[in-house]
Amino acid sequence: MRTTAAQGGPRNKTHLAGGFPAPGPGRGGMPPGPVTVQTRYAMACSEPSLALPKMTPYISTYRGNRFYPAEPRVEDIDIEDIAHGLAYTCRFNGQTTAFYSVAQHSLIVCELVPESLKREALLHDAAEAYLGDLVKPLKALLPEFVAIEHQVMAAIARAFGLGDWIHPDIKRADRIALATEKRDLMPYSVEPWSELQDVEPLSQPLRPMSPKLAKQAFLDTYARLFEHRASD
């Protein structure tokens, strides 16, 4: 199973990061040396064949990969990019008493589910490594974003051979973690949350981990769970 993306660089090797063809001396009557955006537009106006190429937006990752959210590909998915992104993304849009990462949240959810669902639980929020942790009230207003998120999660599921990452047991563990996070990290949020009705938080208080420690714990847990599967 592929667990890291091939380090092959951009999808089209003739294009630079900005999406423009690599410069060449005198090509198409253009001056040698770097080609600026202004030059491309000026030439396009006078010569239609030099119009700007279509650009596909991508996200540059920690490991130097390019991830295309509108066209997610299995070969672009890298477990260290996921661990790093989740470890350095704060839950609740940062509206907490201390930095608390999506990676640590994922580890807690993973601990609360049966062994058969731990791989899916660990990666249930993996798309947020590429797309960010958009708060739920805003996400409800952006159905197109939700569709992209589902598409990215489907690609991640293919990359790591996941089953049902929205299994009821994972959703229940997610809510238990949420109730605990609300209690320990958002003490001024005293209003009840409808999704936490009849959900009891964990008895032990949360101790937020640093991004560095959360990333390493996430990678260690990944290695244990997926090596175990490979040996089955």
Residue 26 has pLDDT above 70, yes or no: no
pLDDT in tens, 185-204: 999 999 999 999 999 999 99
CB 220 within 8 A of CB 87: no
pLDDT band, very low/low/confident/very high, at 56 (cuts 50, 70, 90) = confident
Out of 43-52, 168-177, 213-222, pick the least confident: 43-52
Out of 15-19, 153-157, 169-173, 220-224, pick the least confident: 15-19
Residue 158 has pLDDT above 80, yes or no: yes
pLDDT at 50: 44
Query: What topology does CATH give the domain 59-230?
Result: Hypothetical protein af1432 (1.10.3210)
pLDDT in tens, 74-87: 999 999 999 999 99
pLDDT at 207: 97
pLDDT at 230: 52
What mean pLDDT do residues 102-118 have?
A: 98
Burial 30-58 (b: 16+ CB within 10 A, else e): beeeebeeebbeebeeeeeebeeeeeeeb
pLDDT at 106: 98
For the chain, the domains span 8-55, 59-230
Q: What percent of the chain has pLDDT over 90?
A: 73
Average confidence score pLDDT of the chain: 83
Residue type at position 196: L
Taking the C-alpha atoms of residue 182 and residue 201, their distance in angstroms, rounded to an integer, is 9
Residue 8 has pLDDT above 60, yes or no: no
Out of 27-36, 131-140, 189-198, 205-214, pick the least confident: 27-36
Interior angle at CA 177, CA 199 and CA 132, nearest 5? 130
